[in-house]
Structure 1
């Protein structure tokens, strides 16, 4: 069974710079303290100022605005720690010892961070006097090896963050970069992250994208962990993004705001014309605005609090659709330059020019020269609503709970511009719902802490034609025709029709084809794949913490969690089919989703016949339509994990973090397939399609603070991290996906020619669904095998680093990070794309081979004894054995990331805040990860990257994530005018290397972008780019706690609109194998492969005229204004 190669094109980025637990002797139990994913902690050591000796028995009281006061007493080492503190600033730490009282004010607590608050008490101080210390705590967490950054409300308000949701701020972390689908961290892809909101996993289930776009005004703090995380965190080989939303406090507080980005202050996007069609399209924002409010306060003071927020967002965009034609009126002069206006015969109104039957090209770029014909403006609108509510309550200081709900509906109505726009307006809608319940309890005089979190994440996505008007019509894409002909379908203007029609009256370029299509296509009819897809995660997490004294202090944390992840997807084409009309070869390719029947299938249930001529197979089948039971695919994956971690402080300034995490995944077949036989492989399908066990993930970190005050750390970390496979594989490989492709002779099987198409209308091929295609029939998908003994995908990481607060509030850091993929799960084919095996490329267990060989030997012996069923079984086992052994011949996937990061942070104090980083990194190998950037495919673990052995050549080299140099600088300064108010100026600067450019070709079975003609990244990089954003605001107190602010953000001030991506397809029309170790000069000798069997011909490769041309750019200059009133 051939694999269905489904490709999803990436979105263009919108902005730049998108141990053993040892214990000997007497053990004592102390208070339990550990920050979790939604809170932080304060810890420190109290010493005698004159002698430096630790002071036991000091009483410390922690007071904040959003939590009841908590009390702790220092141990014999003068050490203390208080946890479960909501993130934020304004904490007061009071020390009581004998008659001495000292207050430390203005302490800030971060998510999952420990704020070090050390104090030296003057034992000669007069009793009864309170000493107030206005000194913020160091920003270094001396107990954690994690790398990353924490962003609070000050950052989100005063740095010009380009978007309105938290994803737009993630690029502040060193080692991060936008990749078109999200933000990627530390050499991984953006689909390898985990996203947590208020303690609940909100990662998208199908692909692993960011699942819940919380608006920035609802957020208290964002923690971005790019490496070095402890055993509490798993199911990620990229980064962990932890978002905590705002909560109510004992004081009624809130804000009202409004933002607007007017279209007239957005620079025109630089046009990125394509060479493969006579239609260009670019989309510009008309406006984007949002407004909202958030408010929180006490329900019962010190007992219960509420917080609610509501924020609608609206936007409008104009897509400029320009039609154009090639010219034939210029000449390359003797000096190699293009003819000038004085000696050329353009524009087209001058009939006698340098016509030679060859379209004009620019000698500087090699690209065709076009002239515009007409322009159409297409308006589309979008809206989104964010609603969030939260209640916190405390039965007592030891027992606290939280309930939160988020609802986020959104919709838009875009156009498909490469086609008949009247028929190609679409509608999309999405509804996301999150709910979480959290409970924290402390027992045994606070010696034991237990936390439980239950969560729901749900997302429903719908896609159809506007108003569902064309949902009953197939989408038909016309290829390799002419826009002049397609103008006869009635949409194109008179100017376009006249300018594109060849050899009509007044055609100035009679010797060339004016407006050809070279593979982009022209869409007519329905919307294509319809969607009414729902994904849902039910999760439960339990954890406990205990501090134990044994050769120092141990903070032992253990936990267990489980997830039930499901998808319920619609598998239907509009009009029940999708058509590709290849006019150059008079062939219509019809695609239908089908369900294959078993042997002796009931004709009433399976009335159709599906054939694969290449494999000589024929099956009873049912063409799927909306409403059929098999048109809904319900997939499921069950995850569970457990961990144990010890943070062992041998001394207050020397810590060892050791832990281990265990994970399992059970990927299940779609419900309608369970307990049935696969009609293609004959395998019996049970409940579980693939079970991944023994995911042991040890973590080890060592930290030393040489200042003994929390102002420094030198640290090292090693850890193993396992991938959590998204549910796309459940839908496609374990969901009975079968696509039946029919190749019709358009001239004889699809009715008469349609003059507006330039050939037969593909819909005519579908009139008789029992018609046998003249050219070919192929079945794609399903029939997938799972290699026995398959092992989970993992990554190993090593980090060495140092951080030091050289001056008060000024921290510098230097770190080395290495990440290396150890094993990958991908599908491979060892028999030339007939059978696909989900496996670990390059390896298969000898033990599994021995076990399968034993099964074969027993079946063969029974067969020799005359058992026909055993003969069938032995034949199947022999074939599988040979295929599984073939897994070993594939190259092992490799992705090595090495980075050196230098960071500097000047925390907000005395009006100035600054954070910056410089990262030198290299990402090399033959496997980018869960996104196949090279061909745009988004199918985690089942991409085409490892499908065919002949396509593995030339894949080793600099990966798409390879940007050697990346500079980031964020900062702001606040001018205090006292009673006249405050003004703030902020900047966000990015400078980064370009990405490697590949030379890709077409494969005769898989299509475009699959063959690395030359070694990966061997010809050049895209340009080095820079971007600068500026923020300014003015705020003034109006009295009684009310403050008003006016602000403005300027984005992409340089308006460079640099290159994000280029067209890397050297050819769309010609099949070509890799030129192993070749150079650019070898391309002129390359020969095409036969479309039918892949053998080499004598014909030269047809070069894509758009090769190397810009395909995507960074955003143009824009401005955003806003107002906020807080109280």
Structure 2
């Protein structure tokens, strides 16, 4: 059958789009900012010429004696691949899309893919789309790649996390950590985020990342496991974004996106379990207007290219807080993101790329008191103005990022990649009301009182102190050399993270009114007879400039064992060094060896059926935030007073101090000796992972596959805050510790024996205490359990490649994440202290903690795609269904030997094992979009009108709840009192809202 010219062009376009689609099981075949083209030909000694269609960049690669060729470290983009002999073109392929980190098999007659009946050997004639495979047989890892075309055509919120949630096994993290995701059961702080090869992860906590203009994204990788030795510092997932570049044609575009609050459904109000309204949210709505633009083109044709893009988002949010801290606020939010990128093809053998990114957000909050009885805002409290401020857990850190990257093709077989980057974020805050000394933070906790907060502390509780900033700088050098059937890669990867951070109580200090009576652990607090109430004054203040130095070296061999078998054998060696506010090293970890092994089998030799497997170890450094409080100077003390009268601002009057000041956790404003912060020789946080899967083509457009994954956390780092093990060891070894300086908390490897240095006489005489698991056992016989976090999953997928009409993908994931530790975070209570959570503080608190973990979603179903109904109309959809999160009841222990209150997996003084209280409801959400490109706007249809509706059916199931089930111990029954806040929702699914947009793209 004869193929018409138009049909032929359409097939080539389909090919370019199809190769850009993410395939489950495709892998990192190249560095984290480029891709590879490889293949075979029946004519050894010929030359393969690769030409970037948009920039004119050309590279020639020789075919070896076995008929193989490989061109690595190629900038992503569209290529023409030509087979040449004696300088003449024999056969060529056009519109070959190089995807980020993956390999494209472009074989010619006699090679694996070109054996297709559609292959043509006529000089200068391009092969039809069906001649190229959709499966990357050179890869062994698990990832999804989304191109800019897909990001535009799918109904997605305009942010990186929304795209990441399309990948199998990726779920939204706890809402209290912000807009972050959990990968493969790991906590949400265990991911790494890259832009153009440079890590832009939050330098302080690992939660969040610097973002960029959404339309500047060229391709986004979402790695869910199995990544090669060049990647590290992640036990969750990796998100890698490559930005667009300029080409030989000047182009520009403008856009506007509107989210009107009038088309947004009201979020559900929150009620306590007794039916009492806890937070009215009917008017908690946000509207936004986003203006976008870009311009790109050649500064010097074929040599120097420019790309610039910007997003300006103006939002207005209204919030009514809870009855505990009643206020009404209006937030005016201005977010500005821009990106500038210059690409210089110095020669066809030497490429230079420079990128500048800025991500800054200003929030101007006006705050009023709120009268719940009347349902109206009343007196004006003041303002809260922030710039790039982490106003809540998981907030985007923002800031400025600068990246330089060099690629050198020294010979056909030798390639060098070098990168340097730096970033800085200044967090600025002007608390127009909380800085007022007449606005203290006061909590009324007297028996029968409503636990109402008075004065300040109405918004954040604790806030970052002045001068807060984060900085990073890093570099990497990769060398690749091809030696016969081996492609060898080696590299250095260094990054330093610095943060000036710390927290203070909003309002400066905190008052708590309490009933008079015995204070646990404080026999010196004795109120005079007849005293009914006392006031506790607390001060909390931390602040330090801390640093984490991360270094790594890696080596990897891509070994083409036979025509059908390929092995990736790699080893990564990492070193981590954590420094406190005084510049002293308190944790140093070296020789963290991470082997990686992957194998792929091209079953039929034509790239239509691949079986693959891999095994690897992945390490994670201790985050910077640990040093702010645990390794640097901090103040945290409590004072008790009797009082007579209350001032108009709520403060107690006529104070008489009871007893002495009590420093909590030993935080008395002095810098801990770095030798007393962590266990000696502490092992790094690391995880082992195993994956086995396959990908199979069905005809020319369909692909299906399956993948099994097992992950096991082998070593964790957290803190414990218990002096009893030291006392037991000292007694057994006749060591006098009556004058010892024992730190409040120590970093250690949970569930193992650990060695600590203890200043036994308070004069700097440090003695090693080799604490065994028996030493950690309490007098009541309670021991720390072995560390346990296991994840296993089975992913099934079916994908239809774009055929000029439609694209679609369906994923089903069955998974279990279970154990006694979530990892770096504790989502059970929304605790934002990576690596220093409440877990492991003492053996008692780890009883009954084994079970399904917070990020466990047993069943996940994801389906997304788009349909080009006519050249003018396109429709897209995205359906996500998941089973609910496990529920717990956390309460009091009958003994409470460590005085932690309602913090145990026990309720009514009975064991309440993790996950034993059932599950939250299933969640499901359907998003739809439509795009109209009128022909009357021009032949290229440069004008596009879009409409997207998120959560069409406005499902609002709870996604997080209060899991602390008990509030106090009854003085009458001596039994725990069930909390009225138990099971109270913390967050729901976002209700239905609409986004309308218009874009105009044009050539200049």
Q: TM-score w.r.t. structure 2 length?
A: 0.83
Cα distance 1:572–1:200, how it changes in 2: closer, same or farther (>3 A)? same
Counterpart-to-counterpart distance in 2, 1:870 and 1:226: 47
Q: How does 1:721-732 map to 2 (within 5 A)?
A: 721-732=618-629
* In 2: Cα distance, 1:1031 partner to 1:710 partner: 34
Shift of 1:1042: 6.0
- Are the counterparts in 1 of residues 264 and 993 from structure 2 also a CA contact under 8 Å? yes
How far apart in 2 are the matches of 1:128 and 1:157?
A: 37
Deviations 1:760-811 (A, max 9, x none): x24875xxxxx74448633335455311221111100000000111221321
What corresponds to 1:45 in structure 2?
40
What is the CA-CA distance between 1:874 and the residue it aligns to?
10
2:380 is paired with a residue of what secondary structure? helix
Describe the SS at the equivalent of 1:1047: strand
CA contact (8 A) 1:896 1:925 kept: yes
Q: Say whether residues 1:536 and 2:471 are aligned partners.
A: yes
1:743, CA displacement in angstroms?
2.3
Q: Does 1:712 align with 2:609?
A: yes
Q: CA deviation at 1:464?
A: 4.1
Where does structure 1 lack aligned partners over 5 or more consecutive residues?
Answer: 1-32, 48-53, 325-373, 483-512, 595-630, 675-686, 766-770, 857-868, 1071-1087, 1091-1096
Partner residue, 1:347: none
- Alignment check: 8 A CA contact 2:109 2:121 kept: no
**Which deviations, in whole Å up to 9, do the C-alpha atoms of 1:272-326 show, x marking residues without a partner?**
12369765232632411101101111010111101111210011122246879xx
Name the residue aligned to 1:447.
Answer: 413
Cα 1:577–1:1110 change in 2 (3 A) is closer
**Larger relative contact order (CA 8 Å, sep ≥ 6):** 1
* 1:315-353: CA deviation from partner (whole Å, max 9, x where unpaired): 1122246879xxxxxxxxxxxxxxxxxxxxxxxxxxxxx
* 1:1123 to 2:985 alignment: no
The DSSP-based 3-state class of the residue aligned with 1:729 is helix
In 2: Cα distance, 1:37 partner to 1:764 partner? 65
Distance apart, 1:449 and its partner CA: 1.0
Contact 2:329 2:368 in 1 (8 A): no
User: Is contact 2:797-2:810 (8 Å) kept?
Assistant: yes
Q: Please name the residue that 1:994 is paired with.
A: 884
1:548 aligns with 2:536: no
Alpha-carbon offset, residue 199 of structure 1: 1.0
SS of equivalent residue, structure 1 residue 951: helix
Are the equivalent residues in 1 in contact too, given 2:91–2:122 (CA < 8 A)?
no
SS at match of 1:665: strand
SS, match of residue 997 in structure 1: coil
Q: CA deviation at 1:561?
A: 1.8
Q: Structure 1 residues 281 and 593 mapped into 2: Cα distance closer, same or farther (>3 Å)?
A: same
Classify the secondary structure of the residue corresponding to 1:169: helix
Check the 8 A contact 2:592/2:684 in 1, yes or no.
yes
Is 1:409 equivalent to 2:409 in the alignment?
no
The residue number in structure 2 matching 1:487 is none
* 2:791 is the counterpart of 1:897: yes
Matching of residues 622-661 of structure 1 within 5 Å: 632-661=543-572
Q: Quote the Cα distance in structure 2 between the aligned partners of 1:523 and 1:1047.
A: 46
CA displacement, residues 668-707 of structure 1 (integer Å, 9 cap, x when unaligned): 1212xx5xxxxxxxxxxxx211101120000001110113
Residue 101 of structure 1 contacts residue 131 of structure 1 at CA under 8 Å; is this kept in 2?
Answer: no
Name the residue aligned to 2:135: 140
1:398 pairs with 2:349: yes
Measure, in 1, the Cα distance between the counterparts of 2:144 and 2:486: 26
SS at match of 1:93: strand
Q: How many residues align?
A: 890
3-state SS of 1:738 partner: strand
Q: Does 1:702 align with 2:634?
A: no
Identify the residue that residue 167 of structure 1 maps to in structure 2.
161
Return the TM-score normalized by structure 1.
0.74
CA deviations on 1:122-172 (whole Å, 9 max, x unpaired) are 9997865635434474332211211020011122111111x2221221100
The answer to whether the Cα contact below 8 Å between 2:270 and 2:278 also exists between their aligned partners in 1 is: no
Deviation at 1:100, TM superposition (A): 6.6
Q: Kindly report which structure 2 residues correspond to 1:875-894, keeping only aligned pairs within 5 A, or say none.
A: 877=767, 880-881=769-770, 886-887=775-776, 889-894=783-788
Residue 333 of structure 2 corresponds to 382
* Mapped partners of 1:910, 1:125: distance in 2: 23
Aligned-residue offset at 1:567: 0.8
Counterpart of 1:753 in structure 2 is 646
Structure 1: how far apart are the matches of 2:327 and 2:359?
Answer: 33
User: Which residue of 533, 542, 547 corresponds with 1:586?
Assistant: 533
Q: How does 1:1037-1116 map to 2 (within 5 A)?
A: 1037=935, 1038-1039=937-938, 1041=940, 1043-1070=942-969, 1099-1116=974-991
On the 8 A contact 2:710/2:791 being kept in 1, the answer is yes
Tell me if structure 2 keeps the 8 A contact 1:407–1:432. Answer: yes
Distance 1:459 1:1010, change over 3 A: farther
Q: Indicate conservation of the 8 Å contact 2:91/2:123, yes or no.
A: no
1:840 shift after superposition = 0.8
Decide whether aligned partners of structure 1 residues 246 and 459 sit closer, same or farther in structure 2, where only a CA change above 3 A counts. same
Q: CA deviation at 1:815?
A: 0.5
Asked if the contact 1:565/1:638 (under 8 Å) is kept, the reply is yes
1:93 aligns with 2:59: no
In 2: Cα distance, 1:568 partner to 1:807 partner: 57
SS in structure 1 at match of 2:189 = helix
Question: Aligned-pair distance for 1:872?
Answer: 6.8
Which position in structure 2 is the counterpart of 1:318? 318
Match of 1:1019? 917
The separation in 2 between residues aligned to 1:793 and 1:126, in whole angstroms, is 55
Change (3 A) 1:764 1:637: farther
1:287: which partner in 2?
Answer: 287
Choose which of 687, 691, 698 in structure 2 pairs with 1:799.
691
Evaluate the alpha carbon distance shift between residue 284 and residue 644 of structure 1 in structure 2; reply closer, same or farther with a 3 A threshold.
same
The Cα shift of 1:175 comes to 0.3
Separation of aligned partners in 2, 1:902 and 1:1112: 30
CA distance in 2, matches of 1:421, 1:541: 55
1:1036 to 925, 934, 943: 934
Structure with the greater alpha carbon radius of gyration? 1
For 1:429, the equivalent position in structure 2 comes to 387
| 8 Å CA contact retained: 1:899, 1:920 | yes
CA distance in structure 1 between the partners assigned to 2:97 and 2:124 by the alignment: 25
Out of 735-744 and 781-790, give the one that drifted further. Answer: 781-790
Range with bigger deviation, 135-144 or 399-408: 135-144
Provide the C-alpha distance between the structure 1 equivalents of 2:124 and 2:414, rounded to a whole number of angstroms: 35
Residue equivalent to 1:666: 577
Contact 2:967 2:976 in 1 (8 A): no
- Residues 646 and 652, structure 2, Cα contact 8 Å, conserved in 1: no
Q: CA deviation at 1:1049?
A: 0.3
Task: Quote the residue 1:564 is aligned against.
Answer: 496
1:826-870 per-position Cα deviation (integer Å, ceiling 9, x unaligned): 11134259732211122226xx69xx8xxx9xxxxxxxxxxxx99
The alpha-carbon distance between structure 1 residues 1043 and 752, as it changes in their structure 2 partners (threshold 3 A), is same
Q: Are residues 131 and 699 of structure 1, via their aligned partners in 2, closer, same or farther at CA, if it must alter by over 3 Å?
A: closer
Residue of structure 2 aligned with 1:789, choices 656, 670, 681 = 681
Higher helix share: 1
**Cα distance between partner residues in 1 of 2:948 and 2:697:** 31
Q: Pairwise mapping of residues 254-403 of structure 1 onto structure 2 (< 5 A)?
A: 254-274=252-272, 280-282=279-281, 284-320=284-320, 378-403=329-354
SS across alignment from 2:230: coil
Alpha-carbon separation, structure 2, partners of 1:806 and 1:126: 26
Q: Kindly tell me: are residues 1026 and 973 of structure 1, through their superposed partners in 2, closer, same or farther at Cα, counting changes over 3 Å?
A: same
RMSD, aligned α-carbons: 3.1
> Deviation digits for residues 89-112 of structure 1, max 9, x if unmatched?
x42222235777323223221111
Segments of structure 2 that go 5 or more residues without pairing to the other structure are 1-27, 372-377, 389-397, 517-531, 725-741, 778-782
The answer to whether the aligner puts 1:457 opposite 2:423 as a matched pair is yes
Give CA-to-partner distance per residue, 1:242-278, whole Å, 9 cap, x none.
0011111111123211100111111111211236976
Corresponding residue SS for 1:996: coil
Cα deviation 1:939-965 (Å, max 9, x = unaligned): 111111000111111100111111110
**1:478 offset after TM fit, Å?**
2.2
CA deviations 1:724-781 (Å, max 9, x no partner) are: 2210111111112231121223xx3xx4135885xxx24875xxxxx74448633335
Distance (Å, rounded) in 2 between the aligned partners of 1:874 and 1:306: 60
